Structure 1
Amino acid sequence: MTAARPTGTGAPGYTETWPCEPESARRARLLVSAALNTWGADELVDAGTCIVSELVANAIDHTPCRLVRVTVDRASNGVVRISVADKCRATPELGRPGDDEEGGRGLLLVDAMCWRWGYDRKPWGKVVWAELREGRRA
């Protein structure tokens, strides 16, 4: 069980910070699942947990980060935003792997499962996010 802390202001949300290590992807899946279930958005759990797993894995595999911060926000009009922040300023790019390549498909999967995704550059790094919409397919 994960001990998620609700955000203090604005739209309902949950956030946690963990070490940049593979175990954090499991914790992030638990956080997303708990938030979505709390909000009654059960239909988004499978996509949300897969998306956060990929975003955390990208931070671990492609940045020299020591910590990763995961946030799940319920914006408005049934939109849920899943964000992963790290202190690396390198921006994510959709992969174009060949048929025989094993990697490079994470963001392609995120792109296929969400309504929209993107990233925000920050002075200290970046936040990569994906949005899901309740009651609608991606």
Structure 2
Amino acid sequence: MTVTATPRPTGHPGYSQTLAREPESAGAARSLVRTALAAWHQDGLTEDALCVITELVSNAVDHACCSVIRVVVTRPAEDRVLLAVVDRSRDLPMMRTDCGGERIRGRGLVLVDALSDRWGTGLHRWGKTVWAELRSGPATGD
């Protein structure tokens, strides 16, 4: 799979990678996020960002309908990092608030909501993007 880095208006490249829609792709997504955060000197976001991207990928693996997903990591502003997963399903994710203590699954978006500053979805004619934004501190060495 090829990783793409694209220039952005903030002067920071955006990173994206197309991955197979399988549980093992969460590891590749985490690697992409680590690469982007290291390039942007945003190591303080790593723990939360890795958890968020894992949950977004897991949701796409469970609910998308195509054989591939696209993971996107961008820095839309100096103080924000955006993590997104794009898939071909138009079914919108729903945050479950009825997660009892005995449930093993179904808490992903609750974690995304807790760890990100904001999150949401974007519908496209062909599918959707589920994204989460984390607020970053000033970069050192940028």
TM over 0.5: same fold?
yes
- The question of 1:129 aligning with 2:131 is answered yes
Query: What's the TM-score, normalizing by structure 1?
Result: 0.91
Tell me which residue corresponds to 1:4: 3
Query: What's the TM-score, normalizing by structure 2?
Result: 0.89
Return the offset for 1:45: 0.8
Matches within 5 A, 1:106-125: 106-125=108-127
Tell me which residue corresponds to 2:34: 33
CA deviations on 1:30-59 (whole Å, 9 max, x unpaired) are 000100011000001111111111100000
Q: Where does the alignment leave 5 or more consecutive residues of structure 2 unmatched?
A: none
Tell me which residue corresponds to 2:14: 13
- Local SS of the residue matching 1:75: strand
Distance in 2 separating the partners of 1:35 and 1:14: 7
Return the offset for 1:5: 1.9
Tell me which residue corresponds to 2:63: 62
Tell me which residue corresponds to 2:92: 91
Range 34-43 or range 97-106, more displaced: 97-106
| Matched residue type, 2:129 | V
Distance in 2 separating the partners of 1:45 and 1:87: 28
Please tell me whether the aligned partners of residues 59 and 65 of structure 1 are also in contact (alpha carbons under 8 angstroms).
no
Please tell me whether the aligned partners of residues 85 and 131 of structure 2 are also in contact (alpha carbons under 8 angstroms).
yes
Distance in 1 separating the partners of 2:120 and 2:35: 23
Q: Percent identity?
A: 44
Distance in 2 separating the partners of 1:99 and 1:19: 31
Aligned CA-pair RMSD: 1.7
Distance in 2 separating the partners of 1:122 and 1:10: 23
Tell me which residue corresponds to 2:82: 81
Return the offset for 1:8: 4.7
